[in-house]
Amino acid sequence: MEIHQTGDFFEAVQLLPVFPDSKTFPDCTPKRDLATIVSDYQTERNKPDFSLPDFVNRNFQTPETHSTGFESNTNTSVTAHIEKLWDVLTRKPDEAQSSLIPLPNSYIVPGGRFGEIYYWDSYFTMLGLRQSKRVDLMENMVKNFAHLIDRQGYIPNGNRTYYTGRSQPPFFTLMVKLLGEVSKDKPILLNYLQQVEKEYRFWMNGIEQLTPEKNALKRVVMLKDGSILNRFWDENDTPRPEAYKEDVELAHHSSAKSELYRHIRAAAESGWDFSSRWFSDPNKFSSIHTTDIIPVDLNCLLADVENTLSDIYSHLNQSAKANSYKAAGERRINAIKKHCWNESSSFFFDFDFIQNKTTSSLTLAGAFPLFFSIASDEQAHKVANTIKEEFLKPGGVTTTIQKTGQQWDAPNGWAPLQWITFAGLKNYKQHELADVIKSNWLNTCERVYRETGKMMEKYDVFGSGDVGGGGEYPNQDGFGWTNGVYLAMKNA
């Protein structure tokens, strides 16, 4: 039994709340047998002098705070600062404790608050490790994710037990390819074929059961024309343990709480938690409907996995498997172009398979077809114009064009989307626009660093270049993917 599985005891602690941050309690370690603690709680809770905070304090060890004593020196360059931070953000291999899923090798966490790895963050962190020639840490990260695939059958959102209902955007194949660019161990993809294929099966789980009547199961969806594309999902339809109070409060007025919780969790799997991208009404969180949506970025990632598997099996002279994956990749790319391209808006959108039309959310997920060279030259030219007109701001590119107060909306710019957009434009020789994005983003990072001594998780790119707002936790030393993208862009 885990702390987050203790029923009304867990609920009482989270809703009071005993800790200001909902993530603290599920990360605590019981000082004695958990079942006994819960039994004692049931006995003591009705006593007139019972104090829940005191009870929790007596019975649980709070998670270690990773205070490094690290102090920034704003007189040094951002690059020198990042080089020092790699070791600050590195965590040693763990023992099993509290909710932590132990990993066999050292790893990098996104920021000082975190004691765990996060899946899609890690690819963008690795871009910087490559520039810093920290091949050791790159290898460790890939080995850790391979270990999670071996153990879980997929890579969870992060290495915590309460994250195991979901994954995050599948960047593992790209991580292996990135490592292959600097590794002496060639061809590295062969070493990780089993894990790449196993993760792909996780995303495609349920495909055999799809019919026109039962057209969606877990992460796979059959569209009206028979195309099969993917969506985000979560195995659970309950409040997230690490954001329990927030989720319960969001669902307070909902008549379909379990559906709402699933949509919230699926949005967490997307990495874009939260964004008007997932809302039918941009300003109404309760209109979230993530599992109705076929995300363009997810399907571009999976097309790349299919094409990569085809290439590996071609290399192994297994032509039947190679051809099967090649055909799957072609079918997916054709479906993306058919269902996610909106000619009148000159951009790639997510597709709402319930409404059978593209969503109205203009977001930088639409740059993924350029990053993976899926778009036609004509489409890429139109996308570039839309990016220039709608997304380009003095501090970089904005995540969406909607200002809602959600952190994955305007005015925030995020490092991973700067990189996807920049690299995607470069693929289609849109050098001038790509270089403006690069210059604006690097200048923002450098100016905020001079003012604060920190690299931030996100930035307000609409002019001030201030720290981005929204989200579920405070700013902290870091930030893994910002560091990674900064170094990669600086050297691009």
Tens digit of each residue's pLDDT (9 = 90 or more) over 380-432: 999 999 999 999 999 999 999 999 999 999 999 999 999 999 999 999 999 99
Q: Is 8 part of any domain?
A: yes
Of 61, 80, 97, which residue is a domain's last?
61
Distance, in Å, from the CA atom of 483 to the CA atom of 402, rounded to the nearest integer, reads 26
Confidence of residue 70 (pLDDT cuts 50, 70, 90): confident
pLDDT tens per residue, range 325-373? 999 999 999 999 999 999 999 999 999 999 999 999 999 999 999 999 9
Confidence of residue 472 (pLDDT cuts 50, 70, 90): low
Would you state the pLDDT for residue 97? 75
Residues that are catalytic: 273, 457
pLDDT tens per residue, range 435-446? 999 999 999 999
Q: Is 391 part of any domain?
A: yes
Distance, in Å, from the CA atom of 466 to the CA atom of 445, rounded to the nearest integer, reads 9
Q: Is 353 part of any domain?
A: no
Per the CB < 8 A criterion, the answer to whether 175 and 481 are in contact is no
Q: Which residues of 107-125 are buried (b: 16+ CB within 10 A; e: fewer)?
A: bbbbbbbbbbbbbbbbbbb
Domains: count for the chain = 2
Q: At 358, list the tokens.
A: 């593209």
Would you state the pLDDT for residue 470? 64
Would you state the pLDDT for residue 216? 99
Of 40, 61, 82, which residue is a domain's last?
61
Percent of the chain with pLDDT over 90: 90
Q: Is 490 part of any domain?
A: yes
Q: Is 112 part of any domain?
A: no
Q: Is 460 part of any domain?
A: yes
Q: Is 96 part of any domain?
A: no
Would you state the pLDDT for residue 483? 98
Domain extent, residue 388, equals: 362-492
Confidence of residue 114 (pLDDT cuts 50, 70, 90): confident
Please compute the mean of the pLDDT values over residues 49-65 and round it to a whole number: 95
| Average pLDDT taken over every residue of the chain | 95
Distance, in Å, from the CA atom of 347 to the CA atom of 375, rounded to the nearest integer, reads 10
pLDDT tens per residue, range 73-86? 899 999 999 999 99
Per the CB < 8 A criterion, the answer to whether 420 and 364 are in contact is yes
Q: Is 386 part of any domain?
A: yes
Please compute the mean of the pLDDT values over residues 264-285 and round it to a whole number: 98
Of 61, 87, 105, which residue is a domain's last?
61
